[in-house]
């Protein structure tokens, strides 16, 4: 693509992003494309699924009267052909083509050349973009790639518009459909019925929801106070910068102050409030409008002011949010929604009041989800099309088993889900009989079930559900809940709690595993490719002072209990373990000397989560006492699929043949060296994969407390001989979905259907 095309592309994308409606985006697109490609016509047809037609939504060149009226059936005309084939159609003499359809309303017959590109989103055709010329010519490959790139951008905009109901502009303007379903990824199973509470990051203009003002004069008052504070803040900044910036560089501050003049932005914001909007929403609307207008301007200087305008908007918003004492109280029916909810933000809330969590970003094994799972909160993530801002206080059903979210569900659906909820409560009650049972197969093979912990609630639930130890203590979780690195004594007290609740049982404490999606609020690591970056042991070896304070705290906490095991995360190479062992030895000697007490040397293990470890078991066995598989990361790295990216969630499967084969070999390698091996990724807590792991030879499975009873029940009912047969069969399969259905079939036909039931067989309302 030429530089000029790239520049045009950049401009179009920028303007589309700043536009406020789908119609506007489409108009921007057709006008710019026609101009940039010097074509007579550029049109966009969108698929109207309800009527099974492609509707002409925008056009530069065709009769304007036709826009919004002309439509084609699915397979009709050249547009239909593009949609059907899902590929580019490039013709120099379109009227000669057998599929050419003459549409008199458009005056189309005089255009000879035709280039149609499908607009695809998640493998689905959303529409077709067409350029046409009177002159008969083949469009170049560069023209094709230019349009393909644009269509890829456009598809996101259309998908979003679909989600917020704007696609119905030609039928039902700006109305969120009464009832709508969204699909995401299941993070933590369960069902909830309730109302949405938006958790939006502070001072994020784009995230401010639409909400009606309860009391208009109160909102006006709040705005005035906020504006006064912002004016003060800007004057203060101006004073402060007097010596650092030249007068013209400080001119921005006077621009800000002029914008804040009563007759400027404030007047517009107040008008919005008087129309019934709450102050924060009014600020968002006014700033958005101006941003869209500025972005269209030819003048570079003015276009660049967009950033300043947004900055000013954020300042007003930040003040309003401080003033807004009106933070909604959570009730038992609160369904938390947001773009992304961090672990820290979650645990700050009264978690027993959260009925469910739904986020537009994130994926099934992100840290927040792991914590939500421990807390037993139904969670759906990666609902990319969720129109968050329009959902404040809206009634919802969350079916986290299927990753589905229903907005404004009809009564019939609510009644059905309430019944299912009751059935689930009954299943949970029945499972309680497994709290006191041992995990022994009908043919007498015992499996040790451990619990993964991080929060105190995991410990309490783990003990209550009969965990035989802690297989993974995620030490980064308490770090996430603070506003600074906790000191050694503070850590000692936390670790002691964990160790003492499981006195006489092994407790595997993992050293700090931060980086990638595990961000500390006070130590952000910004990297382009963070999953492959500075995380786990790579970070702690670069910060031996943090590593040592943790090790020292763990050692001190273990005095008299002697049940401490230490686990190193994200190990890639032997040298990392050698370095860590050196530090561990040094700290062990030092703490004993300082405390004047003998401390049992903890067993040291490494996590198998980077594929390189799979091939070095011989070497690592020389150095460490045990191995623990982190299947969440191992799956991510073996399949090269981001565990947090909902777009590729369907590629992420721990039942992938490569994972199953790697794990089978790994167990054999470890057994050859007489090294204990356990598994603590989410795979261990899924009954169908737990059975396979048991058959491979894993005799210790560590999981979230919410999965212990289900896995124990599965083990109590599936003989090892059956598990081995299942394993032998699935190891020959090549498709994770087939593996899954094969295992589920066994469960269903052996009276264990409730363990694999995606709770719901709902008649779509
Ligand atoms: C894993 O990667 O499987 C694991 C247990 O660690 P975490 O999920 O904390 O990365
Ligand atoms: Mg991991």
Contacting residues for 149 by C-beta, under 8 A, at least 6 apart: 1, 9
Ligand 1, residues 473, 512, 607: which to mutate, most atoms within 8 A of Cβ? 607
Least confident of 30-44, 91-105, 161-175, 616-630: 161-175
pTM greater than the 0.85 cutoff? no
Please tell me the number of the ligand nearest to residue 452's CA: 1
Looking at 327, 357, 392, the residue that finishes a domain is 327
pLDDT value at position 762? 40
- Is the minimum distance from the CB of 633 to ligand 1 under 6 angstroms? yes
My answer on whether 604 and 681 are in the same domain is yes
Ligand 1, residues 613, 630, 702: which to mutate, most atoms within 8 A of Cβ? 630
Q: Average of pLDDT values for 736-749? A: 96
Q: How far is the C-alpha of 320 from the C-alpha of 229, rounded, in Å?
A: 10
Six-digit token string for 714: 């599965």
Tens of pLDDT along 212-269? Answer: 888 899 999 999 999 998 898 888 777 866 766 667 666 777 878 888 999 889 999 9
- Identify the band that residue 25 occupies on the pLDDT scale cut at 50, 70 and 90: confident
Least confident of 137-141, 584-588, 604-608, 682-686: 137-141
End-to-end CA distance of the chain: 47
Domain count, the chain: 4
Q: Is 568 helix (H, G, I), strand (E, B) or coil?
A: strand
Which position has the higher pLDDT, 518 or 624? 624
Is pLDDT at 176 greater than 80 in this prediction?
Answer: no
730 belongs to a structural domain: no
Q: Average of pLDDT values for 17-29? A: 78
State the closest ligand 1 atom to the C-alpha of 628, by its place in the atom list counted from 1: 5
- Is the minimum distance from the CB of 472 to ligand 1 under 6 angstroms? yes
My answer on whether 160 and 122 are in the same domain is yes
Helices (H), 48-120: 77-85
Residue owning the nearest CA to atom 8 of ligand 1: 632
- Is the minimum distance from the CB of 15 to ligand 1 under 6 angstroms? no
Please tell me the number of the ligand nearest to residue 368's CA: 1
Are 134 and 358 in contact by the 8 Å Cβ rule? The answer is no
Closest CA to 684 of 440, 447, 459: 447
735 belongs to a structural domain: no
My answer on whether 616 and 661 are in the same domain is yes
Ligand 1, residues 680, 704, 707: which to mutate, most atoms within 8 A of Cβ? 680
My answer on whether 135 and 156 are in the same domain is yes
Is pLDDT at 498 greater than 60 in this prediction?
Answer: yes
My answer on whether 580 and 461 are in the same domain is yes
Please give the mean pLDDT across all residues of the chain: 87
587, burial (CB in 10 Å: exposed 0-12, middle 13-18, buried 19+): buried
My answer on whether 195 and 212 are in the same domain is no
Please tell me the number of the ligand nearest to residue 631's CA: 1
Six-digit token string for 502: 């499981």
Are 338 and 200 in contact by the 8 Å Cβ rule? The answer is yes
> Strand 379-381's sheet: what is its strand order?
180-183, 404-407, 395-399, 191-198, 334-338, 354-359, 379-381, 185-188
265 belongs to a structural domain: yes
Is pLDDT at 14 greater than 70 in this prediction?
Answer: yes
610 belongs to a structural domain: yes
My answer on whether 141 and 271 are in the same domain is no
Catalytic option among 42, 151, 670, 680? 680
Which position has the higher pLDDT, 523 or 429? 429
Q: What separation in angstroms does the CA of 720 have from each of 568, 715, 745? A: 31, 8, 17
Is pLDDT at 170 greater than 60 in this prediction?
Answer: no
Q: How far is the C-alpha of 221 from the C-alpha of 226, rounded, in Å?
A: 9
Q: Average of pLDDT values for 143-156? A: 85
Q: How far is the C-alpha of 194 from the C-alpha of 460, rounded, in Å?
A: 28
State the closest ligand 1 atom to the C-alpha of 609, by its place in the atom list counted from 1: 2
Looking at 427, 459, 486, the residue that finishes a domain is 427
pLDDT value at position 17? 73
Distance of CA 209 to the CA centre of its chain: 20
Closest CA to 565 of 521, 502, 480, 617: 502
Are 340 and 359 in contact by the 8 Å Cβ rule? The answer is yes
What is the CATH classification number for the domain harbouring 130? Answer: 3.30.450.40
The alpha carbon of 20 and the centre of ligand 1 are apart by a number of angstroms equal to 41
My answer on whether 382 and 460 are in the same domain is no
Ligand 1, residues 365, 473, 642: which to mutate, most atoms within 8 A of Cβ? 365
Give me the torsion for CA of 740, 745, 750, 754, rounded to 10°.
Answer: 70
733 belongs to a structural domain: no
Place of tokens 């009769």: 63
Helix then strand count (H, E) for the chain reads 26, 22
Are 212 and 277 in contact by the 8 Å Cβ rule? The answer is yes
Are 706 and 732 in contact by the 8 Å Cβ rule? The answer is no
- Is the minimum distance from the CB of 701 to ligand 1 under 6 angstroms? no
Active site residue 367: yes
Is pLDDT at 424 greater than 60 in this prediction?
Answer: yes
Which position has the higher pLDDT, 761 or 647? 647
Q: How far is the C-alpha of 714 from the C-alpha of 691, rounded, in Å?
A: 7
Is pLDDT at 326 greater than 60 in this prediction?
Answer: no
Which range of residues forms the domain containing residue 7?
A: 3-174
State the closest ligand 1 atom to the C-alpha of 683, by its place in the atom list counted from 1: 3
Catalytic option among 160, 367, 401, 565? 367
My answer on whether 377 and 504 are in the same domain is no
Q: How far is the C-alpha of 90 from the C-alpha of 113, rounded, in Å?
A: 8
Contacting residues for 549 by C-beta, under 8 A, at least 6 apart: 485, 487, 488, 491
Place of tokens 């329009």: 390
Enclosing H/E stretch for 381: strand 379-381
Which position has the higher pLDDT, 604 or 525? 604
Is pLDDT at 395 greater than 90 in this prediction?
Answer: yes
Is pLDDT at 620 greater than 90 in this prediction?
Answer: yes
Six-digit token string for 345: 């933000």
Q: Average of pLDDT values for 352-372? A: 84
pLDDT value at position 164? 61
- Is the minimum distance from the CB of 631 to ligand 1 under 6 angstroms? yes
Looking at 396, 427, 458, the residue that finishes a domain is 427
Buried b (16+ CB within 10 A) or exposed e, 392-402: bebbbbbbbbb
Residue owning the nearest CA to atom 4 of ligand 1: 630
What is the CATH classification number for the domain harbouring 606? Answer: 3.20.20.60
- Percentage of residues of the chain with pLDDT beyond 90: 52
pLDDT value at position 8? 76
Tens of pLDDT along 83-136? Answer: 999 999 999 998 889 888 877 777 666 788 999 999 988 788 899 999 999 888
Residue owning the nearest CA to atom 1 of ligand 1: 630
pLDDT value at position 763? 33
Cβ atoms < 10 Å from Cβ of 532: 13
Active site residue 716: no
Are 83 and 74 in contact by the 8 Å Cβ rule? The answer is yes
Is pLDDT at 576 greater than 70 in this prediction?
Answer: yes
Which position has the higher pLDDT, 153 or 437? 437
pLDDT value at position 344? 67
736 belongs to a structural domain: no
**Helix axis angle, 22-37 relative to 141-164, nearest 10°?**
170
Closest CA to 559 of 462, 472, 467, 493: 493
124 belongs to a structural domain: yes
What is the CATH classification number for the domain harbouring 372? Answer: 3.50.30.10
Q: Where are the beta strands (DSSP E) in 531-584?
A: 564-568
My answer on whether 196 and 289 are in the same domain is no
Is pLDDT at 328 greater than 60 in this prediction?
Answer: no
Buried b (16+ CB within 10 A) or exposed e, 537-553: bebbeeebebbbbbbbb
My answer on whether 519 and 553 are in the same domain is yes
729 belongs to a structural domain: no
Q: Is 553 helix (H, G, I), strand (E, B) or coil?
A: helix
- Is the minimum distance from the CB of 681 to ligand 1 under 6 angstroms? yes
- Is the minimum distance from the CB of 368 to ligand 1 under 6 angstroms? no
Closest CA to 442 of 722, 719, 695, 692: 719
Which position has the higher pLDDT, 323 or 719? 719
**Helix axis angle, 657-672 relative to 687-696, nearest 10°?**
40
Q: Average of pLDDT values for 312-339? A: 77
SS3 content of the chain, % helix, strand, coil (to 5): 50, 15, 35
The alpha carbon of 660 and the centre of ligand 2 are apart by a number of angstroms equal to 18
Is pLDDT at 374 greater than 90 in this prediction?
Answer: no
Please tell me the number of the ligand nearest to residue 571's CA: 2
Closest CA to 445 of 683, 705, 690, 742: 690
Cβ atoms < 10 Å from Cβ of 228: 12
State the closest ligand 1 atom to the C-alpha of 630, by its place in the atom list counted from 1: 3
Please tell me the number of the ligand nearest to residue 453's CA: 1
pLDDT value at position 151? 85
The alpha carbon of 630 and the centre of ligand 2 are apart by a number of angstroms equal to 5
Least confident of 351-355, 674-678, 722-726: 351-355
My answer on whether 86 and 67 are in the same domain is yes
């Amino acid at each position: 693509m030429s530089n000029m095309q790239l520049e045009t592309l950049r401009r179009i994308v920028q303007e589309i992003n700043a536009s406020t409606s789908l119609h506007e985006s489409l108009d921007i697109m057709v006008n710019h494309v026609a101009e940039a490609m010097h074509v007579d016509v550029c049109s966009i047809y969108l698929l109207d699924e309800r009527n099974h037609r492609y509707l002409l939504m925008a056009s530069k060149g065709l009769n304007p009267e036709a826009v919004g009226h002309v439509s084609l059936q699915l397979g009709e005309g050249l547009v239909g052909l593009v949609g059907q084939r899902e590929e580019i159609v490039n013709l120099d003499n379109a009227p000669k083509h057998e599929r050419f359809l003459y549409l008199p309303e458009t005056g189309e017959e005089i255009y000879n050349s035709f280039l149609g590109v499908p607009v695809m989103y998640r493998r689905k055709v959303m529409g077709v973009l067409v350029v046409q010329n009177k002159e008969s010519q083949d469009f170049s490959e560069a023209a094709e790639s230019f349009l393909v790139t644009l269509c890829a951008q456009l598809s996101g905009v259309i998908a979003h518009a679909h989600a917020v109901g704007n696609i119905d502009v030609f039928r039902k303007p700006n109305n969120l459909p009464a009832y709508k379903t969204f699909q995401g990824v299941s993070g933590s199973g369960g069902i909830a019925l309730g109302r949405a509470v938006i958790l939006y990051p502070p001072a994020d203009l784009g995230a401010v929801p639409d909400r009606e003002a309860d009391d208009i004069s109160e909102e006006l008052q709040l705005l005035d106070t906020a504006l006064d504070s912002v004016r003060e803040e800007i004057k203060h900044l101006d004073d402060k910068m007097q010596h650092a910036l030249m007068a013209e560089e400080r001119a921005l501050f006077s621009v800000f102050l002029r914008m804040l003049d009563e007759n400027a932005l404030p007047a517009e914001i107040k008008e919005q409030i008087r129309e019934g909007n709450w102050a924060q929403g009014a600020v968002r609307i006014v700033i958005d409008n101006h941003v869209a207008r500025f972005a269209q301007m030819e003048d570079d200087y003015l276009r660049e002011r967009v950033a300043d305008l947004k900055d000013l908007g954020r300042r007003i918003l930040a003040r309003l949010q401080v003033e807004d004492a009106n933070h909604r109280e959570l009730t038992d029916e609160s369904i938390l929604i947001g773009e992304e909810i961090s672990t820290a933000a979650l645990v700050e809330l009264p978690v027993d009041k959260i009925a469910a969590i739904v986020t537009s970003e994130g994926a099934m094994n992100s840290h927040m989800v792991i914590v939500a799972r421990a807390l037993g909160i139904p969670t759906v993530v990666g609902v990319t099309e969720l129109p968050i801002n329009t959902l404040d206080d809206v009634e919802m059903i969350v079916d986290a088993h299927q990753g589905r979210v229903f907005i404004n569900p009809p009564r019939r659906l609510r009644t059905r889900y309430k019944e299912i909820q009751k059935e689930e409560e009954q299943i949970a009650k029945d499972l309680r009989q497994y709290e006191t049972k041992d995990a022994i197969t009908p043919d007498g093979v015992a499996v040790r079930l451990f619990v993964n912990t991080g929060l105190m609630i995991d410990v309490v639930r783990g003990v209550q559900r009969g965990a035989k130890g802690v297989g993974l203590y995620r030490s980064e979780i308490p770090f996430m809940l603070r506003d600074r690195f906790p000191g050694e004594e503070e850590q000692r007290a936390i670790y002691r709690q964990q160790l003492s609740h499981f006195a006489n049982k092994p407790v595997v404490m993992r050293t700090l595993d931060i980086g990638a999606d595990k961000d500390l609020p006070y130590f952000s690591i910004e990297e382009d490719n963070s999953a492959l970056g500075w995380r786990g042991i790579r970070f702690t070896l670069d910060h031996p002072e943090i590593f040592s304070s943790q090790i020292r705290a763990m050692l001190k906490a273990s005095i008299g209990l002697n049940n401490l095991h230490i686990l190193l995360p994200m190990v890639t190479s032997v040298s990392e373990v050698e370095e860590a062992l050196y530090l561990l030895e040094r700290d062990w000697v030092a703490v004993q000397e300082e405390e004047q007490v003998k401390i049992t040397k903890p067993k040291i293990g490494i996590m198998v989560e980077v594929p390189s470890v799979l091939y070095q078991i011989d070497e690592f066995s020389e150095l460490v006492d045990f191995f623990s598989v982190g299947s969440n990361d191992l799956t991510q790295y073996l399949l090269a699929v981001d565990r947090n990216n909902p777009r590729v969630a369907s590629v992420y499967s721990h039942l992938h043949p490569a994972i199953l084969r790697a794990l089978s070999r790994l167990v054999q390698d470890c057994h050859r060296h007489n090294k204990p091996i356990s598994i603590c990724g989410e795979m261990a807590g899924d009954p169908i994969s737990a059975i396979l792991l048991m058959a491979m030879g894993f005799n210790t499975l560590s999981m979230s407390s919410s999965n212990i009873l289900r896995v124990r029940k599965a083990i109590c009912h599936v003989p090892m001989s059956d598990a081995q047969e299942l394993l032998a069969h699935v190891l020959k399969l090549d498709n994770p979905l087939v593996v899954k259905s094969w295992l589920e079939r066994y469960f269903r036909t052996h009276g264990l259907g409730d363990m694999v039931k995606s709770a719901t067989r709902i008649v779509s309302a």
